[in-house]
Structures are given as C-alpha cells and as structure tokens.
Amino acid sequence: MTDELKMPKLHWEDFQPGAVAIYGPRLVTREEIVAFAAEFDPQPMHLDEVAASATLLGGLAASGWHTCCLLMRIIADGFVLDANSMGAPGVEEARWLRPLRPGTSIRVRATVLDKRASDSRPELGFVKFRYEVLDEQDAVLTVMVSPMMVARREPGAPR
C-alpha cells in the first residue's frame, strides 16, 4: 500500500460542534451480557432471567457498565481509531435510561457538543461528545457525555 492510499487521520480541527454521526449496529447477545456480568457486575438482574424478573428491570438486562463498554467499542471502530485520540479525562455523566435486553441491535449516535484548545498543552484540544445508545426503534437506552483529547494538526496555532 502506498502512502497515498492511507486515510489521513482526524485532528482536533476536523470536529465541528453540532456534527452528528451514527455508528454500529452491533447485536448484543444474552451470552455476552451474562459473561460480562459474571466478570464485572454479578448482580442477579444481569445474570439470570428468573432472578431478573423480580427486579426493577423486569427481566434480564445488560449491566450499565457493559452498555458503556459496548458504546466505547462501537465508537472506537466508528471513528476514534481513525482520529488522533489522546484519550479522555473522564465522563461528565452517564445515564442508564432504559434496559439493554438480550437480542437488541444497538447503534451509537455521537454529537459534537463543543470544542476548545488546551490552555496548557498546545499540541491538543478537547472535543466534548454526547453519545446516545439507540435500539432498533431509536429509543435512547443510555446517554453519556465525555470530552476527548485530540491532537491538533497545527499545534498552538491561533484558535
């Protein structure tokens, strides 16, 4: 492969507030819901249909952490691995609004909320995203807001 065929990587300058994109889909199976729960969040509502039916969730559903991790994987394949991502300092909020049931095919809607250059590091900027995990009917299962650090194409250039 020649250099000309390589995709140019996305920089901080390439993200525009208001931009929206949808990534996925990914089918979420009962098997992976239970396997994740057994490893990280072994509460009854994530492990067993009978126990889950007696809980607030009303039936087996993925751990909220599992939903966040699936979101991460979907956006990684969607755009993060094509961007000069330098990681994230954290999460501003995550809301688990509706249960993620086995057999659901999810997508992630990513919206650029805003962006700013770093005051202390001229080589990077922050891009704040709102991510929504959607089911097949576009119902929002989870909302997560997180800033991403992205390398600038022109470090320290005027904003």
Q: Is 94 in the site for its own copies (CB under 8 A)?
A: yes
Binding residues among 104-143 for its own copies as defined by CB under 8 A: 124
Task: Name the token pair of 15.
Answer: 């993200």
| Contact residue for its own copies among 20, 21, 27, 81 (CB under 8 A) | 81
Instruction: Single out the residue of 86, 112, 113, 117 in contact with its own copies (rule: CB under 8 A).
Output: 86
Smallest Cα–Cα separation from 61: which of 78, 75, 41? 41
CA neighbor of 99 nearest in space, from 142, 137, 152, 149: 142
By the rule CB under 8 A, 100 interacts with its own copies? no
Kindly provide the b/e burial profile for residues 109-129, where b requires at least 16 CB atoms within 10 angstroms of the residue's own CB. bbebeebebbeeeeebbbbbb
Give the interface segment with its own copies, choosing from 3-11, 91-99, 106-114, 126-134 (CB under 8 A).
91-99
| Token code pair at residue 153 | 């194409």
Q: Is 87 in the site for its own copies (CB under 8 A)?
A: yes
- Could you tell me if 69 and 28 are in contact, meaning their C-beta atoms sit under 8 angstroms apart? no
Interface residue with its own copies among 17, 20, 29, 40 (CB under 8 A) is 40
**Judged by CB under 8 A, does residue 50 bind its own copies?**
no
Could you tell me the smallest distance in angstroms from the CB atom of residue 111 to its own copies? 18
115 vs 149 by CB, closer to its own copies: 149
Q: Report the C-alpha gap between 114 and 63 in whole angstroms.
A: 29
* 8 binds its own copies, rule: CB under 8 A: no
Taking alpha carbons only, the member of 41, 35, 99, 32 closest to residue 65 is 41
Q: What residues make contact with its own copies under the rule CB under 8 A?
A: 39-43, 45, 55-57, 63-65, 68-70, 72-73, 76, 80-81, 85-96, 124, 149
